[in-house]
Amino acid sequence: MYWNQQTYPTLERLDRQATVLILPVGAIEAHGPHLPLSTDDIISQAMAESACRQLAAHQLQGLILPTWSFTPAGFARDFVGTLSFSPATTASMLHDLGENLARQGWELLAVANSHFDPGHLSSLKNALQDFPVKVAFPDVTRGKLARRLSAEFQSGACHAGQYESSIVLARFPELVQPLSHLPDVSHSLVEAILQGKANFVEAGGPQAYFGNPRLATPEEGRATIEELGRILLESILENKKKTGGTKPPAQGES
């Protein structure tokens, strides 16, 4: 269920406790010569939709907000097509969003984020502190959540590689350009960031991709989408449990 496809009386009638708002957060940035600029948007929307399907089993309804695309994208800024915004702009607009949601009586915002530029992640986390409504935000780059995703994702060499290309193949195969000629780029973005690199070229990705997109399959993409949705679901249920809004899932459920 998408927010911007509803009428205002429809939204007025929704039970605020049984409805979870989901904000897909992405970016408009270069993703190699083979994936669209909207790749992160596509992944976050897929994560949000998967979570919505899984929420129904817990007597909850997901309501997906318009995708948040205007975010810091400093690592890709030098590539044509990338739209990068300051952390201050992102934080200010997110705060305004929270004020709007709180004024309308919404209680919980779940964030489905797939954009991992370091400037963006920092600004997003800062903006969500002391947010006007409760927030469920699983950071999949951290610890046990990262270990639930693919080996390439965990390696840090995953921007527009097998991991992301598989998801776009599962969702919009017509947007994926030929992959067979693309060489493996095994440089880890995580290590590059720790070394102080400031953009994709410095990090060893002259075509704005890392990993091995040739290995991408729609089957992997579909499985990853479901796991991302499950991760977001669990964060939502944990938040609801803390506030007394629902029961936690049974062992093995979801």
Handedness of CA 36, 118, 131, 89 (dihedral sign): negative
pLDDT at 242: 83
CA distance 252 to 13: 33
pLDDT at 243: 76
Average pLDDT over residues 80-99: 95
Longest pairwise C-alpha distance within the chain: 53
Set out the domains of the chain in order of their start, with CATH numbers: 3-242 (3.40.50.10310)
First-last CA distance in the chain = 19
The percent of residues above 90 in pLDDT, for the chain, comes to 93
- Cα distances from 246 to residues 16, 20, 63, 188, 189, in angstroms, run 13, 12, 17, 40, 38
Q: Where are the beta strands (DSSP E) in the chain?
A: 19-25, 61-64, 108-113, 134-136
Tens of pLDDT, residues 8-44: 999 999 999 999 999 999 999 999 999 999 999 999 9
The percent of residues above 70 in pLDDT, for the chain, comes to 96
CA distance 77 to 84: 6
Average pLDDT over residues 115-129: 93
Shortest CA distance to 182 belongs to which of 38, 34, 51, 72? 34
CA distance 253 to 251: 6
Tens of pLDDT, residues 167-220: 999 999 999 999 999 999 999 999 999 999 999 999 999 999 999 999 999 999
CA distance 191 to 194: 5
With 50 as the cut, is the pLDDT of residue 250 above it?
A: no
Tens of pLDDT, residues 123-156: 999 999 989 999 999 999 998 999 999 999 999 9
Task: Give the tokens for residue 88.
Answer: 């201050």
With 60 as the cut, is the pLDDT of residue 249 above it?
A: no
Residue 125 half-sphere exposure toward CB, CA atoms < 13 A: 11
Average pLDDT over residues 54-62: 96
Q: Spell out the residues 6+ positions from residue 194 whose beta carbon is closer than 8 angstroms to its own.
A: none
CB 63 within 8 A of CB 55: no
pLDDT at 209: 98
CA distance 158 to 228: 16
Q: Spell out the residues 6+ positions from residue 20 whose beta carbon is closer than 8 angstroms to its own.
A: 55, 60, 61, 62, 63, 108, 110, 136, 236
pLDDT, mean over the chain? 94
Pairing of strands 19-25, 61-64: parallel
Q: Higher confidence at residue 65 or residue 251?
A: 65
